[in-house]
Structure 1
Amino acid sequence: MVNKRRMSTREVVSLAMLIAVTVVISRFFLIPIPMTHGNVNLCDCGIFIAALLFGRREGAIVGAFSGLLLDLISGYTQYMFFSFIVHGLEGFIAGWIGGNNKKMSAKLIAVPVGIVIMVAGYWLTDTLLYGFKVGLIGVPMNFIQGIVGGVVAFIVAIPLQNRIPRLMGE
């Protein structure tokens, strides 16, 4: 059954802060990639932290809005709506598999699946916008971005999962 519970003000504010932190760290650690019209950043780190700690809805919200806002303020407006979808789906699926789940095995599956979704989404995006070759050029860098984001997320999220109060409702 789908949870149709409304979000509290505390939950909305917590998600807004997660989005803001994700955008700031992504903007601070930004490496442009020539030939791909994109960059390597830590956006995936914030998405995976939200997904692993709080679940699919929160992972999707943080992913979608972080991706959109980061592209908007970074000058990559052609990617905004694609990033909304790709990073939102990445956060949703990672949170669905590994969020609210204390089992480490679920979290270890969730992050690589999220990375594959992100890489495939940006390959498709780059292919649609700029052609097949540009899409392929971005694949290795997107994998690196996802792996770095996933590793950093594990370093941050796993120790916190039993220490932070449940900000989001079940």
Structure 2
Amino acid sequence: MRNERLRRLTLAALLLALSVVLGRFFVIPIPWTHGYINLCDAGILIAALLLGPAYGTAVGGFGGMFLDLLSGYPQYALFSLIAHGLEGLTTGYLGQRAGSRRGYQCLALACGVVVMAACYFFSDSLMYHTWMVGILSIGGNLLQGVIGGALALWLTPHLRKRM
């Protein structure tokens, strides 16, 4: 029991580090929203599917926040903590119920990505005092989430075999 908890905690820490590294090295800036597209969602969604909602929330929230602080976007840090934390929570909760059924995992990933994009819509609208910036951010955030979800869907079964 104690060994299993340590193994899960270690994997969560590695996935947190992986999401920050992936997010830092694969960056595509989006000028109209002052944000960027990155691959941090892959680590978040893998953690959520493999380890469940608690670890998905922690990896998502802290990974998104640390990435923004390291990337020079401290104004987004609190919003990323919430948006990616809720993404990990939603995906982890629904993914736990899905088990290894591929179709339900896709639905869990889609719900998590939509929650994240909705959070960034509200945060961008609030920060820039216009809902137009929020609308412009939806496409980039959905694209980032879909790419991360596709990687998570592809890698999770292979990682689950090794656990």
TM-score between both structures, scaled by the size of structure 1: 0.88
- Structure 2 residue aligned with 1:21: 18
CA deviation profile, 1:38-75 (whole Å, cap 9, x unmatched): 10001111111001111111111110010000000001
Deviations 1:102-132 (A, max 9, x none): 2223211101001100110000000000121
- Unpaired runs of 5+ in structure 2? none
Q: Which residue of 1 aligns with 2:76?
A: 79
Distance 1:90 1:110 in 2: 10
Q: CA deviation at 1:133?
A: 1.1
- Let me know the Cα RMSD of the aligned residues: 1.7
Q: How far apart, CA to CA, are the structure 1 residues paired with 2:112 and 2:10?
A: 25
CA offset at residue 164 of structure 1?
Answer: 2.1
More helix by share: 2
TM-score, normalised to structure 2, is: 0.91
% identical aligned pairs: 44
Q: Which amino acid aligns with 2:112?
A: G
Q: Distance in 1 between matches of 2:6 and 2:149?
A: 29
CA distance in 1, matches of 2:76, 2:107: 27
List per-residue Cα deviations over 1:9-61 (Å, max 9, x = no partner): 44433322111111001111111110101100011111110011111111111
The DSSP-based 3-state class of the residue aligned with 1:150 is helix
Aligned to 1:168: none
SS at match of 2:33: coil
User: How many angstroms apart in 2 are the aligned matches of 1:67 and 1:133?
Assistant: 23
Indicate yes or no: 2:140 matched with 1:137: no
Is 1:34 the equivalent of 2:15?
Answer: no
